[in-house]
Structure 1
């Protein structure tokens, strides 16, 4: 392979990696639909869900952004009426990642009183997106 072709391939790979990085960064923290999932409170070690809704955070011990999300969600729930915050550590319950289709941590669910997942967030959720998701519950 000639040096010109090698440089062209390397430049193309850099552009592709940069584009993928920008797209993933833009999608991080945005609201996605909950699908047809139902959350079982026993999976989180709680007996019941919040009166209005429950914010369920999936994390792992090695997750670097999970403590930030935990603090942000705890303060958000403290300011809101009828919300509960539950954290599920997938390090000790890897079976739940397959059941709830969690591919990365942190992942956050907004769950209504009946257990239906109304919204999900990958990464650090945006505060306005949380407000919008909870307005529909």
Structure 2
């Protein structure tokens, strides 16, 4: 292979990797709507009263996740600030069955459940506070102008 061709191949790989990184970065921490049946606390190996009266923030994490402690603090603070909202952390390290059931491909991943335990939003990656607040407001019918 000529040096020019090798340089062109390397340049193409760098451009493709950069584009893939930008796309993945833009999707990280964004909420998307979820349409699924209600989640039973037993499916997450939690006691029956673990869910909130208005909403539940279910965080899927692992022991080696670098961003999970920060997300845990953020979700706990949001839950404390809002009446009827509970934060639940599910460690997937030793429970791959739960990861498979909820199709968790990265940690942290957060599910926003309504008062009936029905997932309404899924946030892959580290969410921003305003993203979580917006999803909780949407559950309560609060709109922002």
Q: Is the 8 A contact 1:32 1:121 kept in 2?
A: yes
Q: Is the 8 A contact 1:57 1:70 kept in 2?
A: yes
What is the CA–CA distance in structure 1 between the aligned matches of 2:70 and 2:45, rounded to whole Å? 20
Aligned to 1:124, the other structure's residue is in SS state coil
Q: How many residues align?
A: 137
Residue in structure 2 matched with residue 132 of structure 1 by the alignment: 134
Q: Which 4+ runs in 1 deviate beyond 6 A?
A: none
Residue in structure 1 matched with residue 79 of structure 2 by the alignment: 77
Residue 44 of structure 1 deviates from its aligned partner by: 4.0
What is the CA–CA distance in structure 2 between the aligned matches of 1:102 and 1:37, rounded to whole Å? 16
**CA RMSD, 1 decimal:** 1.1
Unpaired runs of 5+ residues, structure 1, are none
Aligned to 1:128, the other structure's residue is in SS state helix
Unpaired runs of 5+ residues, structure 2, are 140-145
What is the CA–CA distance in structure 1 between the aligned matches of 2:37 and 2:81, rounded to whole Å? 27
Residue in structure 2 matched with residue 30 of structure 1 by the alignment: 30
Residue in structure 2 matched with residue 5 of structure 1 by the alignment: 5
Q: Evaluate the alpha carbon distance shift between residue 28 and residue 64 of structure 1 in structure 2; reply closer, same or farther with a 3 A threshold.
A: same
How does the TM-score come out when normalised to structure 2?
A: 0.90
Matches within 5 A, 1:1-137: 1-42=1-42, 43-48=44-49, 49-137=51-139
What is the CA–CA distance in structure 1 between the aligned matches of 2:52 and 2:86, rounded to whole Å? 5
Residue 35 of structure 1 deviates from its aligned partner by: 2.6
Q: Evaluate the alpha carbon distance shift between residue 25 and residue 66 of structure 1 in structure 2; reply closer, same or farther with a 3 A threshold.
A: same
How does the TM-score come out when normalised to structure 1?
A: 0.95
What is the CA–CA distance in structure 2 between the aligned matches of 1:12 and 1:44, rounded to whole Å? 47
What is the CA–CA distance in structure 2 between the aligned matches of 1:31 and 1:44, rounded to whole Å? 25
